[in-house]
Amino acid sequence: MRWSLPLVGLLAACAAVPTAPPASQRPPNIVLFLVDDLGWQDSSVALGPERTPFNDRYRTPNLERLAREGLSFTQAYAAAPVCTPTRTAILTGQAPARSHITYWTLRKDTDTSAKFSGLLPPKWDVNGLQPEDTTLPELLQQAGYRTIHVGKAHFGAVGTAGADPRNLGFDVNVAGHGAGGPGSFLGLENFSAAARKGDRVWDVPGLERWHGKNVFLEEALAAEAVEQIDAAVAAGTPFFLNFAPYSVHAPITANPRYAANYTHLDPREAAYATMVETCDAALGTLLAQLDALGIADETLVIFTSDNGGLSAHGRGGEPHTHNAPLRSGKGSCYEGGIRVPLVVRGPGVARGKRNDAQVISTDLFPTLLAAAHVELPHDGVERDGLDVTGLLRGGSLEADRILVWHQPHFWGVQGPGIWPFSALRVGDWKLIYRHADRGFELYDVADDPGETLDFAASARARVEELARMLGGRLRAMGAQMSLDEATGQPVPWPDEVERSDPFRFFQF
């Protein structure tokens, strides 16, 4: 069924289906479906060794279809545990440590970091991505793609040119601006924060045709995306669609169309589950349109999230447990904050398989350029992503790779791993460096994805080895460390911590 919701009347204007011109020599279309705050466990597609109660809680049949027809990654990571750093990392191929976009942005020249005792954030790029930055859509645009953004942007701060995706390489922008959440998810509230007497900076722009209608935000976005796909196919151009739901970001809002499916849950969790299902329905709408246009086989579809699932607040039940067996959630250095779903379908992609390789958001930049037959830019800019085309075709990595996370900011909510940190994963091992107390934690995340057993005190030689590796990587990236509030100086690099400090292996 192309659309399972009672919105057929609203979508009548989108119903005309153009005939796609011959495309035998055309590069693939690309659909990047980037959900906001969707956790590793927030779907019915099991990405761990066994199904869990969370996998059985959610209804995501369209993602199940994508997994059957494509490749699921079990150890995919976001570039950061919050949104803007990951979203800009995808567009630039640069890790947040290198770009200095290490936290979420909002207003021009304004630092959004929360206060953390004893530390100050560095002078990071508070305005985010700007037109002078080379971006994935810009490169695809230059190669003849029609580049379309629909949904949440959150690339550059409000009041800067980067707030408008059209200044970052997109031909079309629908509903994207500088704020990272919606005023409301309801068309009956005009997608505005006015109904909750909130800051109007959150109001979603450009969807006036849907104001006053009984429609959920992602339903409207999906209809807008269908129109844009139709227009690109009618024009005979390959397209890059960056489809970015505002769900499942706060404010957690129930979609009444799915409420009957979750009456057995806590009301807040039931509302969250309806948002997950609404995102899946939007995915189904896009997949159905690709089928209707006869272009499914020539379209690369990537489904993922910008960080781990919200768990510290705003949810029902016990905090910090909503990504179990992973530890903690959004904002945290632990796996619950950075491990995300990733499912890919398209030309040449292995079908119905799982891959355990460690991949990260920045890999999308070189991989999608390779799929589009576009060379990496020769602009002297260092980038951090890896072209994982071989993995998509069913291959494996030749050697362990090094993944680095760096967030010299406090998210503002108390919880496990929610503090300024740097971290590294290589092979089975993950090292966490806490900026506040210069302490380390060491986990074997292959055997212990819940990070329950800390080896830092018993495996000091490995800690020192990985600390040298992490320090070297951070320096090479030009990373900015947190500042010691008392001295105003950066905290030591992880490989410069005094070895005699007896507290560096202790958790606080």
Encode the chain (508 residues) as per-residue pLDDT tens digits.
233 344 434 443 344 443 443 444 679 999 999 999 999 999 999 999 999 999 999 999 999 999 999 999 999 999 999 999 999 999 999 999 999 999 999 999 999 999 999 999 999 999 999 999 999 999 999 999 999 999 999 999 999 999 999 999 999 999 999 999 999 999 999 999 999 999 999 999 999 999 999 999 999 999 999 999 999 999 999 999 999 999 999 999 999 999 999 999 999 999 999 999 999 999 999 999 999 999 999 999 999 999 999 999 999 999 999 999 999 999 999 999 999 999 999 999 999 999 999 999 999 999 999 999 999 999 999 999 999 999 999 999 988 899 999 999 999 999 999 999 999 999 999 999 999 999 999 999 999 999 999 999 999 999 999 999 999 999 999 999 999 999 999 999 999 997 545 445 444 3
| Residue ranges of the chain assigned to CATH 3.40.720.10 | 27-392
Torsion angle, alpha carbons of 304, 1, 11, 291, to 10:
60
383 touches 94 (CB < 8 A): yes
* Domain 27-392: CATH class, spelled out: alpha beta
| Residue ranges of the chain assigned to CATH 3.30.1120.10 | 420-496
Could you say which architecture CATH assigns to the domain 420-496? Answer: 2-Layer Sandwich (3.30)
Q: What is the pLDDT of residue 25?
A: 63
The Cα–Cα gap between 174 and 166 comes to 10
140 touches 147 (CB < 8 A): yes
501 touches 438 (CB < 8 A): yes
Please calculate the CA angle 30-37-407 and round it to the nearest 5 degrees: 100
Q: What is the pLDDT of residue 44?
A: 98
Q: What is the pLDDT of residue 3?
A: 36
